[in-house]
Amino acid sequence: MPIQRPDPDQLLDRLQAAAVRARRGKLKIFFGATAGVGKTYAMLGAARQQLLHGVDMVIGVVETHGRMETEVMADGMERLPLREIPYRENRLREFDLDGALARKPALILMDELAHSNVPGSRHPKRWQDVEELLAAGIDVYSTVNVQHLETLNDVISGITGIRVWETVPDKVFDTADEVVLVDLPPDELLQRLKEGKVYLPRQVERAINNFFRKGNLIALRELALRRTADRVDDDMLQYRRDQFVAPVWRTRDSLLACIGPGEGLEKIVRTAARLASQLEVPWHAIYVETPALQRLPEAKRHRILRNLKLAGDLGAVTATLSGADVDEVTVQYARDHNLSKIIVGRDHPRPWRFWFRSFADRVGKRAPDLDVIQVARTEGEREQTRPDRHDVVDHVFKQWPDYAMAAIGCGLAGLLAEVMFPIFDLPNIVMIFLLAVVLVSLRYGRGPGVLASFLSVAIFDFFFVNPRLSFAVSDVQYLMTFAVMLVVGLITGQLTAGAKYQARVATRREKRVRSLYEMSRDLSAALMPEQIAEIGERFIAAELGARAGFLLIDDKDKLQAALPSAKGLPAVDLGIAQWAFDHGEAAGQGTDTLAASPILYLPLKAPMRLRGVLALEMRNSDRLLIPEQRRLLDTFASLIAIAIERVHYVEVAQNTTVQIESERLRNSVLSAISHDLRTPLAGLIGLADTLLLTKPPPTGQQQEVIESMRNSAMRMNALVNNLLDMARLESGNVQLNRQWQPLEEVVGSSLGACAALLAGRPLKVNLAPDLPLLHLDAVMIERVLVNLLENASKYTPPQSPIEIDARIEHDGVVLTVNDHGPGLPSKREEAIFEKFERGKKESAAPGVGLGLTICRAIMQAHGGSIRGETRATGGASFILTLPRGLPPSDDGGTPDEGSAFAGMDAMDEESATERPQK
């Protein structure tokens, strides 16, 4: 196998990376299309093989889900004790990271890599626990389904109609040391389902009709196979780099389109795109800029950049490379990216250049293992690629000061040679002129260097070779001297100009890296959006020669020129900017959307969401066509967006801290006052009851006063109880007594408690017949329903009906309480759940606005939610959502996963692990 000589710097970097990998643990992922294909079983089988080889292995977390064969495979293996973490009223069991680090086995099994840890754990995600284990030098085996990969989340939700909330960053998958695909054909998986080897028998029919439809399984399997193939391809490329393998391995077809000044144009780009589409393979498009090509006229450079942009629009990976030899750079790029086919334009034959090889021939000779495809050009394209004499003249005219300085330099070299002529021989005089050629080439480039070579030969011949002051020579040997002198001068000038070009390229790259570093440093210290805008504006102007403005979003996701920098762009079109923000795509100059605009609008994409729009007015719009410049601009925009998001969350954290402290203080005051009021209120109520029972009984007027006093004390006592309950709920001190309860009983007890309030009202209760048992605190949920029914009786006409409905929806049970009153205040549907907020402030109905706040707190404590809305037919509707949970099965151990089959969590193996609802 041919091996290329490694670059010393690359070799050093790889040795250092290998040293880091040697200290780090190895991650092995068992990857599958969906639950039930046997990932956990395969992982346990591999772990048992390691045990046979004497490896110190323990189980960190393994979810068997009651599958007998999996439990048998795990039997006898050492298990780390799980850690209990209090969460609300429960104590949940989670992986003990500190215990694993203290035990420090050689290998640990961590099932379900995408699992979300209980709040209060060190890391929110299990994959972060795995990262810490790997950093400690512990090898890890884990499992992942394809739907848990972050980049495939939207794709799979579009296929199955079910969104997965627990995901793993693709970087974790891509950087794993080994990925094992655990595959099972859809028919076999469906057969396992029917045999009860994946879920309980009574759940199979629902599973097959929902997530486990055959079409879904086929699509998921294809995605898993493709993602594994991509991962294997990456492993192959990394191996080739590590082993310095030169030949291209034809594991799959891939294309490289070469764009040049005379053999690119649009036809080669479109041909490559069409061929890549037909073969369904990736393709790249590159332009190699050499010192000679730097002298291209502006029109040709613009055509090259336009072709590169076209290639990018057609799906190619584009790059602008630099080097002295186009053939070498092209072949090296193809080898580095394992591209097996190179597409070039066919050179137009010219008889007077018969001794020159075409670009295709040169590439074929340098890389005989690669396929070179030549694309013929039309006559019109040939005319475009012919050299324009006017371009050459214009180029020389623009550089006339450099050519003049070359002539002056040769003249000065002649004067110096004249002074030294009596002392030194002619060979030494020749060195003076060669030095002049080198200096001119180094300072002014290739063209002036060529002129200096010819002038040096002419001056040397005319002034120093006998007969002097004549171009005639007395000895024909001097002709050889002139020829060698001219050739050496030309070669030296070429090499010097090339070295200067390479130095300029390296300087430009170093400047770009330094600019990114300085920008990152300054942005990390910025504390205000205005500071971020000023930093971004300064760096963009320095690196891209553009005027920048920043448009940030307000509370309603509308852009506004809130930052001072936006005032520098008077032509900003907020409509185009809003379109770019709403669609998350660039618009304006240099794009395919509203390209006539003189300004480029680039959305600021932060990790969590879009943060605004960057508006750019480029002095030279052609710079947007250069892939490296566009990538630099995208990097700037990303850094700015992340900085804006960081500042936003710093502000959110500060406001949250203030709110928490304010709430804590207010709850403490309310709790203290409420406790102090309970004793006198209890005395007032007892006194009223005593007065009502006195003998002789009070008169009618006295009884009315006593009952009014008692009712007022009772309302005040209810208010005090609400305040105390609110304080306890917000402090987290309320322990829910959750039991598996039928919802029908809770609704019935609530109606019984409100019988007096609802007397004379029509009631309509519609509960779905297949409602599952719910894991809830019946007293608390009854309190929620009682509050809602009391509100309905307060704010609706006395004889208006009240409706209660319950149904299964996705992974929860939805309970709805509807009335036929005036409905909720417009645009205050969320505000009514805040403390001391009332639906209508002018209402004469008693209350201070705590009932709905308590309802929301109770629902959140159950992992559910509550919201209100005004119905189209009139009246208010309160929608309660409760999680279905996993009720105990009737066979004594396996959770009833069927109750959650409508949601994604039950489709995954992760669903059987008790976790907080998201």
Q: What is the Cα–Cα distance from 84 to 530, expressed in whole angstroms?
A: 46
Q: What is the Cα–Cα distance from 222 to 600, expressed in whole angstroms?
A: 39
H or E element, residue 423: none
8-242 matches 255-388 in fold: yes
Are the C-beta atoms of 467 and 422 separated by less than 8 Å? no
Half-sphere exposure of 707 (CA within 13 A, CB side): 7
Confidence bin at 47 (pLDDT 50/70/90): very high
Mean pLDDT for the chain overall: 78
State whether the Cα torsion 45-177-252-228 is positive or negative. positive
Q: Per the structure block, which two tokens stand in for 490?
A: 């030309």
Among 381-385, 525-529, 535-539, 794-798, the least confident range: 381-385
Confidence bin at 737 (pLDDT 50/70/90): confident
Confidence bin at 904 (pLDDT 50/70/90): very low
Amino acid identity for residue 103 in this structure: R
User: How high is the pLDDT of residue 230?
Assistant: 82
User: How high is the pLDDT of residue 31?
Assistant: 94
- Closest residue by Cα to residue 395 from 468, 474, 448, 455: 448
Q: Per the structure block, which two tokens stand in for 370?
A: 């690669």
Among 290-299, 407-416, 435-444, the least confident range: 290-299
User: How high is the pLDDT of residue 268?
Assistant: 87
728-736 long-range CB contacts below 8 Å, 24 or more apart?
729/854, 729/857, 729/858, 729/861, 730/663, 730/667, 730/857, 731/667, 732/88, 734/89, 734/861, 735/89, 736/88, 736/89, 736/776, 736/777, 736/780, 736/861, 736/862
Residue 454's CB is within 10 A of a number of other CB atoms, namely 15
User: How high is the pLDDT of residue 104?
Assistant: 92
Q: What is the Cα–Cα distance from 281 to 35, expressed in whole angstroms?
A: 30
User: How high is the pLDDT of residue 913?
Assistant: 33
User: How high is the pLDDT of residue 814?
Assistant: 92
Pairing type for strands 763-767 and 341-345 reads unpaired
Is it the case that residue 645 has pLDDT exceeding 90? Answer: no
Half-sphere exposure of 821 (CA within 13 A, CB side): 24
User: How high is the pLDDT of residue 563?
Assistant: 54
User: How high is the pLDDT of residue 917?
Assistant: 34
Strands (E), 761-842: 763-767, 774-776, 802-809, 812-818
User: How high is the pLDDT of residue 617?
Assistant: 85
Domain boundaries of the chain, sorted by first residue: 8-242, 255-388, 541-640, 739-884
Confidence bin at 842 (pLDDT 50/70/90): very low
Percent of the chain with pLDDT over 90: 11
H or E element, residue 826: none
User: How high is the pLDDT of residue 351?
Assistant: 55
Q: What is the Cα–Cα distance from 879 to 865, expressed in whole angstroms?
A: 8
Q: What is the Cα–Cα distance from 63 to 887, expressed in whole angstroms?
A: 17
Percent of the chain with pLDDT over 70: 79
Is it the case that residue 762 has pLDDT exceeding 80? Answer: yes
- Residues 101-124, mean pLDDT to the nearest whole number: 89
Is it the case that residue 219 has pLDDT exceeding 70? Answer: yes
Q: What is the Cα–Cα distance from 23 to 16, expressed in whole angstroms?
A: 11
Are the C-beta atoms of 404 and 452 separated by less than 8 Å? no
- Residues 270-286, mean pLDDT to the nearest whole number: 87
- Residues 762-774, mean pLDDT to the nearest whole number: 88
- Residues 184-198, mean pLDDT to the nearest whole number: 79
Residue 124's CB is within 10 A of a number of other CB atoms, namely 12
Is it the case that residue 23 has pLDDT exceeding 60? Answer: yes
Is it the case that residue 453 has pLDDT exceeding 50? Answer: yes
User: How high is the pLDDT of residue 803?
Assistant: 92
Q: What is the Cα–Cα distance from 267 to 522, expressed in whole angstroms?
A: 45
Summarize pLDDT for 553-603 with one digit per residue, the tens.
877 777 776 555 444 555 678 888 888 888 888 888 877 777 778 888 888
- For the ranges 235-249, 459-473, 709-723, 741-755, the one whose mean pLDDT is highest: 741-755
Q: What is the Cα–Cα distance from 364 to 342, expressed in whole angstroms?
A: 9
- Residues 501-526, mean pLDDT to the nearest whole number: 82
CATH number of 255-388: 3.40.50.620
Is it the case that residue 388 has pLDDT exceeding 80? Answer: no
Q: Is 574 exposed, middle or buried, given 0-12, 13-18 or 19+ CB atoms closer than 10 A?
A: middle
Rg (CA), the chain: 39
Which residues fall within 8 angstroms of residue 381, CB to CB, at 6 or more apart?
Answer: 265, 267
What is the fold, at CATH topology level, of the domain defined by 739-884?
Answer: Heat Shock Protein 90 (3.30.565)
Confidence bin at 105 (pLDDT 50/70/90): very high
Kindly state which CATH superfamily the domain 541-640 is placed in: GAF domain (3.30.450.40)
User: How high is the pLDDT of residue 137?
Assistant: 92
Is it the case that residue 652 has pLDDT exceeding 60? Answer: yes
Strand partners, 550: 614
User: How high is the pLDDT of residue 914?
Assistant: 35
Identify which has the larger pLDDT, 102 or 253.
102
Strand partners, 740: 775
- Residues 349-360, mean pLDDT to the nearest whole number: 64
- The number of angstroms, rounded, from the C-alpha of 511 to the middle of its chain's C-alpha atoms is 27
Decide: pTM greater than 0.85. Answer: no
What is the fold, at CATH topology level, of the domain defined by 8-242?
Answer: Rossmann fold (3.40.50)
Summarize pLDDT for 877-890 with one digit per residue, the tens.
999 999 876 555 44
Is it the case that residue 231 has pLDDT exceeding 50? Answer: yes
Confidence bin at 127 (pLDDT 50/70/90): very high
Is it the case that residue 262 has pLDDT exceeding 70? Answer: no
- Residues 244-249, mean pLDDT to the nearest whole number: 64
Q: Is 309 exposed, middle or buried, given 0-12, 13-18 or 19+ CB atoms closer than 10 A?
A: buried
Strand partners, 255: 283, 341
Strands (E), 520-599: 546-553, 559-560, 587-588
